[in-house]
């Protein structure tokens, strides 16, 4: 393949990842795939070939040979089976213009254990208890160590210490999985913590999602009544010998200083109990039928630290710290005092109309942390096994004077890489986008939740289905959502029904409701969105049976291809709902049939991509039949849509369900429906995300911008004018007069309506994929409204793409960056089109 002489070139290979992860430890798959970016000064750079080398400590394991291919994303390992629990190093070189690059800097990955053999150990636990337990064992590192790996799991949540040091900066280990089917274990490198000699390994274990209060029915012990811990410590000495230590009845336990810990309610820590003198022998607990599997998501970490911006006293007398924005996390503080003195903190998202601390929307969640001092030197505390959604913290107890400098808010979420940014000339739109980002961060704590503050915090399928495309622009969500999809597949009913929440705690609460349109469709839409954004065909392969089962389930429930059975949330919390009702005015059977058609069309595309041509033809025919049935059922012969709601028209247009001849009437009616509501939207969860797309795709760009830029209620910017720093569950969570929508269901951190971010990225800034993973890119900004400039940048699987347009003295200009090994279609507002390769371009 051209010149075999290696020389300094104008391109290099950078940003190596394995399974979209940087140097993963404990990789959950044994057939890894490799990705890289090409950094090049050569316009139109296209990779002609690549070569990968894989090494272990003994030398070369695999050389791919010089592969003639442009693939630089998720290239398969094709060598002999890899060894378990082994560190591998790899590097890659590429060929461009018949010239081979130098080898990249090496990256590495480490495979996981072959099987889990460590027993789960437990204490004398009681079902009603919410205290944590400590397990311990002395570890004798007999000789100089070469490496030490600790593999750990729990029925509950754990934090592990060697001596007095935590072994990891991750938290909420090992995450929340579909516990009825699987519990996850994680891998930690503890080599540097185990020098030769005797060490004490201790693990604090709390109820977490496994045993603690969960769901809005105030239930606990949904997965089991006993917390347990399991660990496998593997030591490799420099002389080549090995030692394995497993949990067992030779471990001991005692009560933890964490005397109370619940996800919803908070944590109480008694520092006087940090040095217990009474230990008992642990006992072995059978984990049941659930499997123990390697962690396949992203760990949760502390991401940012925010200082308070104010300390004030409310009219009701509460001393309150304001951290400036609504976040998910907890408060770390320092304190001096005597033994038995207490610090007590309560958390809230907002103040009420009188400026008082408002917690009614938390429902039964207490959201209270208490620390009991041991006395003496300065003490520093941050809770271990709880988190809160908050901006404000009431300091109910604190010895001495409250100094804001002694407090800081710790922002916590899954460790997703930030990939996408957006900004424009309109400050309120910038704040809206910031709210969208913070709303997602606040609800991406191991699973995609609906809210982080009240007694819910569940993995609602509808919310992430709506928001997935926006999330995938903002962050590398691929590993995060793949883990969640694995659990969706496990929790799916035998008839293909999809639970409303994943993991399915509602089933544990004897709530047999499932399979709502737009919610269950997450089984199809989320995998498809991940494929579009990241180019990972394995997601489609892994989820294909689940996707097909969902369509089969709907088909069995539909009558003449109209899905008119079952219970649906439909256009949830739409403003055109009847008084006292959460479901909007758009008929549920219209919503359901629209989603039935949309998901079936996506499964047809998926089957085609996977080479299942027979399936693809079957689903294409079914899709056509559903569309015909929809048009016959919901459109009159003259083209009037039977349901005169905004959402009915939006779904009909965006899901391509409108007869071609009736598209003008449908879009004109949608505009009239906006006018009838004084220029406002009255849509809910199903209509709102697509509203601006429905308009801009049908030559109503001005109307889309007018909707986006409205500042009065109801609108996206209304929340911004009301000082929101995250997206609200309700467009009128706080009403113009300062009163609250309702205490029953009123989250101020609910990302669903933030799905308008997808329109900001794709239409305002103009970046979207033309081919999966952004192998081909569309740059088609559509300026409008009062905006004078807008820009976005996205780190795609191939590298950075950027778009910035602006008007200067009435003249339009566009600057574009296209990453190497991709191409792009550039469409200017005046409809001029250009096809380009990688490089930087300016258009006037």
Flag whether pLDDT at 140 surpasses 60.
yes
293 and 310 co-located in one domain: no
CATH code of the domain containing 832: 2.60.420.10
CA distance 328 to 313: 23
Task: Point out which residues pair with 53 in neighbouring strands.
Answer: 63, 91
pLDDT at 738 over 80: yes
The verdict on 317 and 387 lying in the same domain is: yes
- pLDDT band at residue 2 under the 50/70/90 scheme: very low
3-state secondary structure of 228: strand
Question: Residues 215-230: what's their mean pLDDT?
Answer: 91
Average pLDDT over residues 672-681: 98
**C-beta of residue 2 within 8 angstroms of C-beta of residue 58:** no
Q: How confident is the model at residue 9 (pLDDT cuts 50, 70, 90)?
A: low
Specify if 477 maps to a domain.
Answer: yes
Residues 601 and 730 reside in one and the same domain: yes
Mean pLDDT across 84-99: 97
Q: Has residue 1 been placed in a domain?
A: no
pLDDT of res. 8: 47
Together in a domain, 165 and 32: no
6 within domain boundaries: no
760, 433 contact by CB (below 8 A): yes
Q: Which of 388, 414, 440 is the last residue before a domain boundary?
A: 414
Radius of gyration of the chain (CA): 28
Residues 6+ apart with CB under 8 A from 150: 160, 167, 187, 188, 190, 201, 231, 232, 233, 234
pLDDT band at residue 116 under the 50/70/90 scheme: very high
169 and 83 inside one domain: no
Assign 287 a pLDDT band (cuts: 50, 70, 90).
confident
Domain boundary among 282, 297, 312: 297
Whether residue 155 contacts residue 120, with contact meaning beta carbons closer than 8 Å, is answered with yes
pLDDT single digits (tens) 745-778: 999 999 999 999 999 999 999 999 999 999 999 9
Are residues 154 and 19 part of one domain? Answer: no
Within 8 A by CB and 6+ apart from 183, the residues are: 153, 154, 155, 174, 177, 287, 290, 291, 292, 293
Residues 70, 181 within the same domain: no
DSSP 191: G
Query: Would the pLDDT of 245 be above 90?
Result: yes
- Looking at the structure of the chain, the number of domains it has is 5
pLDDT in tens, 573-599: 999 998 878 999 999 999 999 999 999
What is the DSSP track for 509-541?
TT------TTTTTHHHHHHHHHHHHH--HHHHH
How do strand 197-206 and strand 157-162 relate by DSSP bridges? antiparallel
Which residues are identified as catalytic? 456, 729
585 & 623 share domain: yes
Domain boundary residue among 72, 91, 111?
111
- Same-domain check for residues 424 and 393: no
Decide if pLDDT at 532 tops 90: yes
Q: Look at residue 528 in the predicted model and tell me its pLDDT.
A: 99
User: Distance between the two ends of the chain, CA-based, in angstroms?
Assistant: 39
Provide CB contacts within 8 A for 188, sequence distance 6+.
25, 149, 150, 151, 152, 160, 167, 168
Say whether both 266 and 309 belong to one domain: no
**Residue 830 included in any domain:** yes
Cross-strand partners of 348: 392
Q: What is the mean pLDDT of residues 121-144?
A: 89
CA distance 369 to 345: 5
Q: Quick check: is 573 in a domain?
A: yes
The reply to whether 5 falls in a domain is no
Task: State the CATH number of the domain containing residue 734.
Answer: 1.50.10.10
What are 838's two structure tokens?
């990688």
Query: What's the pLDDT tens digit per position in 32-45?
Result: 999 999 999 999 99
pLDDT grade, residue 4 (50/70/90)? very low
Residue 3 lies in a domain: no
Asked if 165 and 261 sit in the same domain, the reply is yes
Residue located via tokens 């006087």: 272
Percent of the chain with pLDDT strictly greater than 90: 94
For residue 55, what are the domain limits? Answer: 11-111
Q: Judge contact between 117 and 23, C-beta under 8 A.
A: no
Tell the burial category of 754 from Cβ atoms under 10 Å away from its Cβ (0-12, 13-18, 19+).
Answer: buried
The CATH number of the domain holding residue 198 is: 2.60.120.260
- Is residue 476 in some structural domain? yes
352's CB contacts (< 8 A; 6+ apart) are: 358, 738, 740
For the stretch 780-805, pLDDT in tens is 999 999 999 999 999 999 999 999 99
The verdict on 784 and 651 lying in the same domain is no
Q: Strand 776-779 to strand 823-827: parallel, antiparallel, or no bridges (unpaired)? A: parallel
pTM of the model: 0.97
Geometric angle at alpha carbon 278, from 276 and 279, rounded to 5°: 105
Average pLDDT, the chain: 96
């Amino acid at each position: 393949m051209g010149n075999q002489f290696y020389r300094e070139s104008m391109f290099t290979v950078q940003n190596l990842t394995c399974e979209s992860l940087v140097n993963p430890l404990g990789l959950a798959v044994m057939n890894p795939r490799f990705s890289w970016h090409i950094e090049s000064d050569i316009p139109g750079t296209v990779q002609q070939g690549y070569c990968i080398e894989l090494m272990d400590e003994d030398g070369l394991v695999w050389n791919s040979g010089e592969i003639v291919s442009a693939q630089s994303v998720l290239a398969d390992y094709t060598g002999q089976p890899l060894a378990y629990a082994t560190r591998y190093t790899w590097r890659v070189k590429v060929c461009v213009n018949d010239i081979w690059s130098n080898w990249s800097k090496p990256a590495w990955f480490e495979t996981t254990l072959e099987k889990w053999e460590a027993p789960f150990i437990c204490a004398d636990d009681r079902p009603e208890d919410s205290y944590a337990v400590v397990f311990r064992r002395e570890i004798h590192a007999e000789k100089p160590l070469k490496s030490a790996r600790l593999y750990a799991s729990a029925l509950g949540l754990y934090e592990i210490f060697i001596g007095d040091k935590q072994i990891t900066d991750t938290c909420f280990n090992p995450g929340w999985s579909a516990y009825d089917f699987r519990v996850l274990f994680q891998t930690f490198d503890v080599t540097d913590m185990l020098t030769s000699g005797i060490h004490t390994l201790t693990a604090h274990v709390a109820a977490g999602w496994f045993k603690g209060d969960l769901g809005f029915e105030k239930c606990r012990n949904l997965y089991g009544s006993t917390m347990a811990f399991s660990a496998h410590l593997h030591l490799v000495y420099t002389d080549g010998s090995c030692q394995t230590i497993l949990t067992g009845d030779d471990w001991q336990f005692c009560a933890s200083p964490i005397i109370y810990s619940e996800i919803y309610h908070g944590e109480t820590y008694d520092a006087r109990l940090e040095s217990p003198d009474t230990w008992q022998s642990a006992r072995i607990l059978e984990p049941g039928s659930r499997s123990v599997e390697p962690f396949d998501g992203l760990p949760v970490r502390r991401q940012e630290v925010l200082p308070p911006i104010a300390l004030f006293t409310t009219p009701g007398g509460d001393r309150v710290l304001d951290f400036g924005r609504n976040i998910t996390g907890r408060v770390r503080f320092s304190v001096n005092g005597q033994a038995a003195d207490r610090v007590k903190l309560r958390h809230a998202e907002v103040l009420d109309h009188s400026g008082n601390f408002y917690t009614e929307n938390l429902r039964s969640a207490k959201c209270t942390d208490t620390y009991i001092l041991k006395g003496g030197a300065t003490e520093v505390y941050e809770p271990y096994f709880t988190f809160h959604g908050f901006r404000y913290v009431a300091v109910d107890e604190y010895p001495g004077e409250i100094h804001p400098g002694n407090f800081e808010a710790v922002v916590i979420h899954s460790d997703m890489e930030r990939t996408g940014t957006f900004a424009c000339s309109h400050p309120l739109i910038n704040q809206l986008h910031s709210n969208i980002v913070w709303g997602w961060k606040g609800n991406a704590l191991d699973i995609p939740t609906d809210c982080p503050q009240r007694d819910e915090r569940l993995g609602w399928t509808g919310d992430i289905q709506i928001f997935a495309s926006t999330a995938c622009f903002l962050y590398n969500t691929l590993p995060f959502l793949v883990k969640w999809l694995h659990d969706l597949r496990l929790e799916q009913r035998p008839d293909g029904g999809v639970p409303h929440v994943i993991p399915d705690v509602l089933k544990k609460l004897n709530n047999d409701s499932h399979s709502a349109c737009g919610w269950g469709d997450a089984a199809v839409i989320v995998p498809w969105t991940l494929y579009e954004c990241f180019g990972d065909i394995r997601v489609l392969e892994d989820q294909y049976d689940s996707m097909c089962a969902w369509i089969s389930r709907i088909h069995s429930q539909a009558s003449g291809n109209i899905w008119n059975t079952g219970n649906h949330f439909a256009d949830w919390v739409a403003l055109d709902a009847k008084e006292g009702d959460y479901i909007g005015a758009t008929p549920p059977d219209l919503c359901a049939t629209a989603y039935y058609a949309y998901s079936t069309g996506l499964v047809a595309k998926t089957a085609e991509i996977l080479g299942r041509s027979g399936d693809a033809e079957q689903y294409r025919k079914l899709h056509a039949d559903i569309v015909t049935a929809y048009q016959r059922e919901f459109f009159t012969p003259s083209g009037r849509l039977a349901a005169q709601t905004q959402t009915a028209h939006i779904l009909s247009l965006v899901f391509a369900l409108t007869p071609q001849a009736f598209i003008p009437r449908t879009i004109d009616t949608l505009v009239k429906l906006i006018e009838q509501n004084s220029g406002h939207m009255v849509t809910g969860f199903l209509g709102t995300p697509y509203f601006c797309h429905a308009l801009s795709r049908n030559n109503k760009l001005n109307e889309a911008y007018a909707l986006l830029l409205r500042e009065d209620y109801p609108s996206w910017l209304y929340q911004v004018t009301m000082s929101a720093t995250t997206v609200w569950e309700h467009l009128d969570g706080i009403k113009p007069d300062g009163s609250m929508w309702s205490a029953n269901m009123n989250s101020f951190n609910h990302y669903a309506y933030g799905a308008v971010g997808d329109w900001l990225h794709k239409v305002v800034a103009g970046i979207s994929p033309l081919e999966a993973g952004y192998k081909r890119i569309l740059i088609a900004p559509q300026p409008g409204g009062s905006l004078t400039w807008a820009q976005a940048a996205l780190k795609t699987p191939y590298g950075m793409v950027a778009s910035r347009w602006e008007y200067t003295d009435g003249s339009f200009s566009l600057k574009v960056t296209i990453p190497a090994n991709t191409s792009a279609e550039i469409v200017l507002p005046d409809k001029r089109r250009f096809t380009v390769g990688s490089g930087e371009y300016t258009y006037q």
